[in-house]
């Protein structure tokens, strides 16, 4: 039984999480100003309009803006991955996104999104473009 059949609405971020499960990065784009954002919202973070915020597929290419190495996982769920790299990237379409990355990536480096499964969850990992 799906959400429509039970009378429940789908979570706002469902198009994003469904995309990650399908190997596609998605972002919202404001129909009023064209601003792009990766966090699911009912209003545009750029202009504040509550206009339509349709989801678009991203190319999956980005530039690294920040990098950190996590030596001590914040929860038992991620302990098996430690140490691991997290990055903030700026997608070519404009919005920023935090995700896993290959070890050794550097600020300013061009990367491409990939996906992996951990504990039954699909996650994003960026790898250097060659």
What is the per-residue pLDDT across 56-112, written as a single tens digit (0 to 9) for each? 999 999 999 999 999 999 999 999 999 999 999 999 999 999 999 999 999 999 999
Looking from the CA of 74 toward its CB, the CA atoms found within 13 Å total 3
Mean pLDDT of the chain: 92
Fold held by 10-128 = OB fold (Dihydrolipoamide Acetyltransferase, E2P) (2.40.50)
Please report, for the chain, the start and end positions of each structural domain, with discontinuous segments joined by +: 10-128
């Amino acid at each position: 039984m799906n959400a429509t059949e039970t009378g429940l609405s789908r979570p706002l971020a469902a198009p994003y999480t469904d995309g990650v499960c399908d190997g596609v990065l998605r972002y919202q784009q404001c129909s009023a100003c064209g601003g792009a954002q990766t966090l699911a919202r009912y209003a545009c973070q750029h202009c504040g309009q509550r206009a339509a915020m349709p989801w678009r597929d991203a190319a999956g290419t980005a530039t690294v803006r920040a990098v950190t190495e996590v030596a001590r996982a914040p929860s038992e769920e991620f302990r098996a991955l430690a140490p691991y790299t997290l990055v903030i990237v700026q997608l070519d379409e404009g919005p920023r996104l935090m995700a896993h990355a290959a070890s050794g990536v550097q600020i300013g480096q061009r990367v491409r999104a990939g996906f992996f499964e951990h504990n039954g969850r699909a996650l994003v990992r960026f790898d250097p473009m060659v």
